[in-house]
Structure 1
Amino acid sequence: MAFNYSLKQLRYLVTTIECGSISEASRRLNISNPAISTAIKDLESRFNLQIFIRHKSNGLILTPEGSSFFDRAISLLRDAREFEQQVKGDSGEISGEIVLACYDPIASCYLPELLASFKERFPAVKIALHVVHQHKIADGLRSGAYDLALTYSAGLRDTHKYIALLPDLYPRAVLPADHRLASYDEISLAMIADEPLILLDIWPSNQYFLDQFKAAGLQPNIAYKVPSIELVTAFVGQGLGVSTLVTLPEQIQTPSGKKVVTLSLSDPLVASSTVVAWNRDKDLTRLTTEFVNHCKKEIKLPKHMRPMPAELVSY
């Protein structure tokens, strides 16, 4: 029996599973809900399996067979992208699709200029972008869901290869502009350990910041755990606590106009490395090699973010 199905149908299915709902997949793909539903039902019919259990309250839940089908669909889509990239690369054409993941906290700092300049060089290339957390990046690179990722090296596994894009960066203290320590040039973690801490609660950033206190023999006083850098600075600006961050916005001012200052930390600190990563079992194609080289050329350390002097570095 011949199975007549398309890569487009598989792409609709994979996007639906990644988004958690047909409606969200419809928005991402700019395709109607009925078109996605029809594609999924057709796949289930052709392969004689139930991919989802559909609950009104819980949405779509993968069956065990559906989970296995999902993994194979990701692998097939990855192979199809590589096939297209390699064939076009052999002919000297730089085109095709790159599925790119980016770690949420660094996306706004580097992505806009990077993607704009790459599109200017290679207008025929499509970048399918996923701004996600680190655990999804690690899993997605391993499974083939993503071709490349812009992220921190922390949390990557030995199944990944990566190239550092920036000098090592180190956390800085983030304080309200009217804080009693705000006029200092430099402070220690001990000076803020008893203050309410606003923790960026995204793995591995949360563990990274807590490890800095632990290495200094300190137990931070966590007041709030928030999921974005913007919320960290907003909470700090309102005087709800202090924080530590590596990636910093250039204009540190909250939407309500509150000002925030950042200070160097005098403690020996562990570096944070910004990298472009990929699955070590997959060779880069000409297209993905062009993108990696573009990242190396275009991603620069923002002027307001400086690496730490060597005498304060701990490894």
Structure 2
Amino acid sequence: MHIDQVPNFSLRQLSYLVTAARLGTISAAAAELHVSSSAISDSITTLEHQVGAQLCIRKKAQGLILTAAGKQIAARATNLINEANDLERDLKTTDGELAGPITIGCYPTLAPMILPVLLAEFGEQHPRVSLEIVETTQDKLAGKLESGEIDVAFVYETLIPGAPNHAQLFAQPAHVILAADDPFVSRETVRLEDLVDRDMILLDSPPSSQHTLGMFHDRGLQPTIRHATTSYEVVRTLVGRGLGYGVLVQRLKNTASYEGYPLVVKEIEPAVEPVGVEMIWSSSARVAPRVQAIINFAETTRWATHSNTEYA
């Protein structure tokens, strides 16, 4: 391919802009990149002159907000920088072995099931690939895939931000957890109508809270929430203490709470729709070979899911 003209700007200038935009201030970008604030500020000013457009609005105390042109250039620059980093790694890797970082986003309650498999089994297959983990709720994933901050994420299907590529790994229906001495333990299944006046311990973390409350609202019910917590284990612990029941999707082999109180799982009657666990990745950014490798690994892995018989 014939190269007509070499760009006036450099990857370093683009990286300064992208980093400052990601962190929100020039001073934070300077600290991360180990350069002076004036070097970054001057670089961005020069870049603006070279492309003929204002790329950012600088606020007091060195704050920075991208303009529409700046957002467009930053998005494309991120892809260019990632490709340049991949090229550098490929040039250093002569044996064809995959190398470099992969940043994985994971919904916290999925982490105990997903992350050990990736870190142990995928890590063993590709020892020169470093896996960086970001545990976060799905509402905080918005934009992180398209910006390149996260390469691939594992989430519930109910609230996937944006329109990324996705593949379903498995699906599970929600279930009710009860203390071992709960009066409903003798029942084979539990109806939401029978729970509505009892105390609920709500997992208040999107999308779990919306999904749980939605199941009740779809049947014209309003649950009685005694406590709400963002912690999966706190829900199980409070239920184990007999302070209420819980509604969860993720199923663990451990039949006891964090404190050792036994828990019993009951299926919901009538049956509720299973919730899919999805792997998502950017639909616009180039997928690096190492990221494609982890996508292929996840799609072909037989993920362990546990039936209610293991909790009885």
Letter in 1 for 2:82: R
Distance of 2:109 and 2:244 partners within structure 1: 20
**TM-score, normalising length: structure 2:** 0.77
Going from structure 1 to structure 2, the CA distance change for 1:171 and 1:283 (only over 3 Å counts) comes to: same
Whether the 8 Å CA contact 2:199–2:243 is kept in 1: the answer is yes
Cα distance in 2 for partners of 1:248, 1:52 equals 48
Deviation digits for residues 146-167 of structure 1 (CA, Å, limit 9, x no counterpart):
221111122125621111111x
Distance 1:112 1:222, change over 3 A: same
**1:247 alignment partner in structure 2:** 250
Q: Taking structure 1 as reference, are residues 253 and 51 closer, same or farther at Cα in structure 2, changes over 3 Å only?
A: farther
- 1:81 and 1:37 map into 2 onto residues whose CA distance is 16
Aligned twin of 2:190: 187
After superposition, the C-alpha distances for 1:230-250 in whole angstroms (9 at most, x for unaligned) are 111122122221110001332
Tell me the residue number matched to 1:136.
Answer: 140
Q: How far apart are 1:262 and its partner, in Å?
A: 1.2
Q: 1:276 aligns with which of 268, 279, 286?
A: 279
Alpha-carbon separation, structure 1, partners of 2:265 and 2:115: 23
User: How many angstroms apart in 2 are the aligned matches of 1:224 and 1:258?
Assistant: 18
Q: Secondary structure at the match of 1:154?
A: helix
Give the paired residue count.
287
Match of 1:36 in 2: 32
Q: Classify 1:269/1:130 alpha carbon distance in 2 versus 1 (closer, same or farther; 3 Å).
A: same
Structure 1 residue 147 and structure 2 residue 143: aligned?
Answer: no
Q: 284-293 or 195-204: which moved more? A: 284-293
Q: Is the 8 A contact 1:134 1:155 kept in 2?
A: yes
Partner of 1:208: 211
Q: Which residue of 1 aligns with 2:110?
A: 106
1:180-229 Cα distance to aligned partner (Å, 9 max, x none): 11232211111211111111111111111111111222111112221121
**Alignment deviations for residues 127-147 of structure 1 (CA, whole Å, 9 cap, x no partner):** 222111102223212333222
Q: Residues 20 and 64 of structure 2 are in contact (CA less than 8 Å); yes or no, is this contact kept in structure 1?
A: no
Q: What is the alpha-carbon distance in structure 1 between the residues aligned to residue 60 and residue 264 of structure 2?
A: 50
SS at match of 1:143: coil
| Unaligned residue ranges in structure 1 (runs of 5+) | 26-33, 55-60, 307-315
Q: AA paired with 1:116?
A: A
> Which stretches in structure 2 are left out of the alignment for 5+ residues?
1-7, 46-55
For residues 192 and 87 of structure 2, the distance between their equivalents in structure 1, rounded to whole angstroms, comes to: 51
What does residue 227 of structure 2 align with? 224
Any idea what the Cα deviations from partners look like across 1:15-49, whole Å, max 9, x if unmatched? 7569xx97xx9xxxxxxxx9538547242354358
Per the normalisation by structure 1, the TM-score is: 0.76
Q: What residue identity is the alignment partner of 2:266?
A: L
Sequence identity, in percent? Answer: 23
Tell me, yes or no, if structure 1 residue 47 matches structure 2 residue 44.
yes
What value does the CA root-mean-square deviation take over the aligned residues?
3.6
Higher mean C-alpha displacement, 171-180 vs 295-304: 295-304
Determine if contact 1:200/1:228 at 8 Å carries over to the other structure: yes
State the SS of the aligned residue for 1:294.
Answer: helix
Letter in 2 for 1:44: S
Matched to 1:231, the amino acid is V
